[in-house]
Amino acid sequence: MRIGYVKNWRQVNTSTEKFEKMKKVGVEKIIVELGTNKDNYQKMLLESIESMVEKDILVIDSLDDLGDSIVDIINVVRKLDDKGLAIHVINTNVDRKFVDDWNLQRLLLKQLLLVLVWVEDKEKNEIKKRQAKGMEVIKALKDSRGSGRPKKYSQYAKDPEDREIYFNVIQMLNHDVPITKIAESLKISRNTIYTIKEEYLHNDND
């Protein structure tokens, strides 16, 4: 059986469009969430999945209907997988022959779960990287305060234009541009360039 689910706690008008789409793909029963509390809609969805039997297909308009976060969506997809169910996401525009083949729908669900888990892991890793980078910036700022006046040109410079000049100097040095030419091009002193070069080489050796 094809069972549709409409998350309707935000926009009622959109749901009418979803009803029409579901009728076109052969949905026999539609579960509608009419609550306004976003914490309750997934509870109702999970309870509805519990009442489904093996080889049923949950039909939704988009993955957003399953939850507001990737963790919520993975939770629902895992529950579908554990119960031996399949999923049909209408806005993916899957070929009709795939829609009518339960085994293919089942395979798509497993592939979807793998992709979602991969995305979740990637997001976690990106957050960790940003946190680590933030800690580096904080440490660098603390070190600069402890050693006197903060450096005007550095990768942690407060002014974005000063940071840009710093990276331009590094790039030009790496391309063997003469220091005199760099000074003329960026309108900074040769001593400043030597200081940036020395700091860069020191950090690179660390």
pLDDT at residue 189, as a whole number: 92
Residue 115 has pLDDT above 70, yes or no: yes
- Asked if 8 and 45 count as a contact pair (C-beta separation under 8 A), the reply is no
Please tell me the pTM assigned to this model: 0.52
- Buried b / exposed e over 33-50, threshold 16 CB at 10 Å, is beeeeeeebbebbeeebe
Q: What tens digit of pLDDT does each residue of 5-33 get?
A: 887 655 555 567 778 888 888 888 888 77
- Is the pLDDT at 206 greater than 60? The verdict is no
Mean of the per-residue pLDDT values for the chain? 79
Report which of residues 44 and 36 the model is more confident about: 44
Question: Which of 89-93, 107-111, 166-170 has the largest mean confidence?
Answer: 166-170
State both tokens at 92.
């993916």
Q: Which domains, and CATH codes, for the chain? A: 2-122 (3.40.50.1390), 151-205 (1.10.10.60)
Q: Position of tokens 């525009």?
A: 93
Question: Which parts of 52-189 fold into alpha helices (H)?
Answer: 70-82, 96-99, 102-146, 160-174, 179-186
Average the pLDDT over 34-51 and give the result.
72
- 59 vs 147 pLDDT, higher one: 59
pLDDT tens, position by position, 145-156: 555 566 788 887
